[in-house]
Structure 1
Amino acid sequence: MKARRHLLKATGAALAAVLLAGCATPGRPTATAPDGDRPENWSGRMSLRIDSEPVQTFSALFDLRGGPERGTLTLTTPIGSTLAQLQWSPGEALLKNGNETRRYASVDALIEAATGASIPVGALFGWLAGRDETVPGWRPDLSQRAAGRLQAVRDAPLPRADLRIAFARE
């Protein structure tokens, strides 16, 4: 039970990072993404609060690379220990936590399994890039984006979720 709770926390943190951005260090993009766009590289701190019963909170340092179709997300503790690694591509999403790997049909399915709610991965990349992409139920606040901060609140469906990210683009 305790191991499952730890896995859920790590997964939730990974998913939260995928959704919203926090504090990061800029880096340089590598190869061209499969859709012809440059891949995005973001890093920083993120936290997610889900107003469930009981309330769930996740926080971690993150390194997010790629895009909505294909990418990776690594979550670590402040001292550098890896909490979880997410990797996704069309038709598959992997969650690696220590020696355990779980497979899902998509990054959206992975997020829903971990948190009990869908998180708009595609919109997250847009929000990080400064585009106010509309997602039903979500209210992104991009007003502090220039300062490397982003917040998005999900009001529907319940439970309410609050994602906060401090980030830098690499």
Structure 2
Amino acid sequence: MATVDVQMEDAKAQPLMCDLGHLLCNDPNPLPSLKDAGSDAEREAIIASTARDCAQALINQLLTNCPISRAEGEDLQITLPTPEMQLPREKPVPKEKEKTKWEKFAAKKGIQKKKREGKLQYDEAKSDWVPKYGYKGKNSESADWLVEVDEKAEKAAEKGGKGGRGEKSAMKKRR
């Protein structure tokens, strides 16, 4: 934390402590005795003057120690340094969840979740990413309007269709 010497009416015993990263100005000196102040207005005035002094010291430190930049057509910007003081968390760090039976088993056997990365392909005709398989997929038959025919497979299908076992069993089922 940077220390600041503040020139005021009354000299302070300890200088102000500033952390510009958090925009924090801390006055370690005790407040003047509020018991001596008679009314609430006097107490408020004492607290307001102390707060004003801290705010003024913080702004002076920002303007003297931090780089100021201005982009074209934009307002002034002050780049804050990294914070020097680490602020505490509001709540404690959460405890790690206990693994389920399946997660323990999967870790033991080396089973990993499937990744979705390989499910999409870029279709140049549509100029978009489409699924490899399934609804509106890259493999749909309507997109494959020209398919080469394997002559051997076609002849085998013609032979099998004229009286093979498959046709006889189908006729027995019909009766």
TM-score category of the 2 structures, normalised to the smaller one: under 0.3
Higher relative contact order (CA 8 A, sep 6+): 1
Which has a greater percent of helix? Answer: 2
TM, length-normalised to structure 1:
0.21
